Structure 1
Amino acid sequence: MNFLRKQLDKAGENFKPGSKFEKFAPALNAFDTFLFVPNHTTKKGAHIRDAIDLKRTMITVVIALLPALIYGIYNAGAQHFGQTGEAFTFMDAFIHGSWKIVPMIAVSYIVGLSIEFAFAVYRGHEVNEGYLVTGLLIPMIMPVDIPLWMVAVSTAFAVVIGKEAFGGTGMNILNPALTARAFAFFAYPTYMSGNEVWVSEASASKVDAITGETILGSLASGNEVSYSFMDMFNGAIPGSIAETSTLWILVGAAILIFTGIGSWRIIVSGFVGAAVMGLIFNAFSVNALMAFDWSNHLVVGGLAFGVVFMATDPVSAAQTTKGKWIYGFLIGFFGIMIRVFNPAYPEGIMLAILLFNVFAPTIDHYVIQANIKRRKKRLAAVQA
Structure 2
Amino acid sequence: MKALKKALDNLRPTFSKGGKLEKLHWVWDANETFLFTPGHATQRGAHIRDGIDLKRTMFMVILAMVPCLLFGMWNVGHQHFLALGEYTALGEGFWQKFGFGALKVLPIVVVSYAVGLGIEFVFCSINKHPIQEGFLVSGMLIPLVMPVDVPLWMVAVGTAFAVVIGKEVFGGTGMNVLNVALTARAFLFFAYPTMMSGDKVWVNTSTADGQAVVDGFSGATSLGLAATGNAGQVTSLMDSFWGFEAGSIGETSAFACLLGAALLLFTGIGSWRIMFSVFLGGLTMAGIFNLVGPGLGNEYMQIPVLHQLMLGSFMFGLVFMATDPVTAAQTDTGKWIYGFFIGLLAILIRVVNPAYPEGMMLAILFMNVMAPLIDHYVVQANIKRRMKRAALAA
Same fold (TM over 0.5): yes
Name the SS for the 1:138 alignment partner: helix
Partner of 1:213: 220
The yes-or-no answer on 1:183 pairing with 2:187 is: yes
Partner of 2:69: 69
2-side partners of 1:307 and 1:199: how far apart?
24
2-side partners of 1:293 and 1:318: how far apart?
30
Q: CA deviation at 1:288?
A: 2.2
Deviations 1:297-330 (A, max 9, x none): 1101111101110010000000001111110001
2-side partners of 1:85 and 1:48: how far apart?
59
In structure 2, runs of 5+ residues without a counterpart are none
Out of 18-27 and 98-107, give the one that drifted further: 18-27
Name the SS for the 1:61 alignment partner: helix
Query: Map of 1:325-344 to 2, 5 A cutoff?
Result: 325-344=336-355
8 Å Cα contact 1:174/1:316 also seen in 2: yes
8 Å Cα contact 1:58/1:133 also seen in 2: yes
Q: Which letter does structure 1 place at the counterpart of 2:15?
A: F
Partner of 1:31: 31
Residue of 119, 123, 137 corresponding to 1:119: 123
Out of 219-228 and 271-280, give the one that drifted further: 219-228
2-side partners of 1:102 and 1:183: how far apart?
22
Residue of 254, 262, 267 corresponding to 1:259: 267
1-side partners of 2:4 and 2:237: how far apart?
51
Deviations 1:64-92 (A, max 9, x none): 00011111110110111122211241101
Deviations 1:138-195 (A, max 9, x none): 0000001111110110000000000001010000000000000001101111111111
1-side partners of 2:216 and 2:138: how far apart?
35
Q: Which letter does structure 2 place at the counterpart of 1:214?
A: T
8 Å Cα contact 1:197/1:203 also seen in 2: no
Partner of 1:195: 199
2-side partners of 1:338 and 1:43: how far apart?
51
TM-score by length of 2: 0.95
1-side partners of 2:305 and 2:250: how far apart?
22
Partner of 1:225: 233
2-side partners of 1:148 and 1:309: how far apart?
23
Q: Which letter does structure 1 place at the counterpart of 2:223?
A: L
Partner of 1:104: 108
2-side partners of 1:32 and 1:358: how far apart?
35
8 Å Cα contact 1:196/1:203 also seen in 2: no
The yes-or-no answer on 1:321 pairing with 2:335 is: no
Partner of 2:80: 80
Deviations 1:90-134 (A, max 9, x none): 101100100100000000000000000000100001111011100
1-side partners of 2:207 and 2:369: how far apart?
36
Question: CA 1:308–1:229 in structure 2 vs 1: closer, same or farther (change >3 Å)?
Answer: same
Partner of 2:44: 44
Name the SS for the 1:33 alignment partner: helix
Name the SS for the 2:49 alignment partner: coil
In structure 1, runs of 5+ residues without a counterpart are none
Q: Which letter does structure 2 place at the counterpart of 1:54?
A: L
Aligned length: 383
1-side partners of 2:160 and 2:229: how far apart?
37
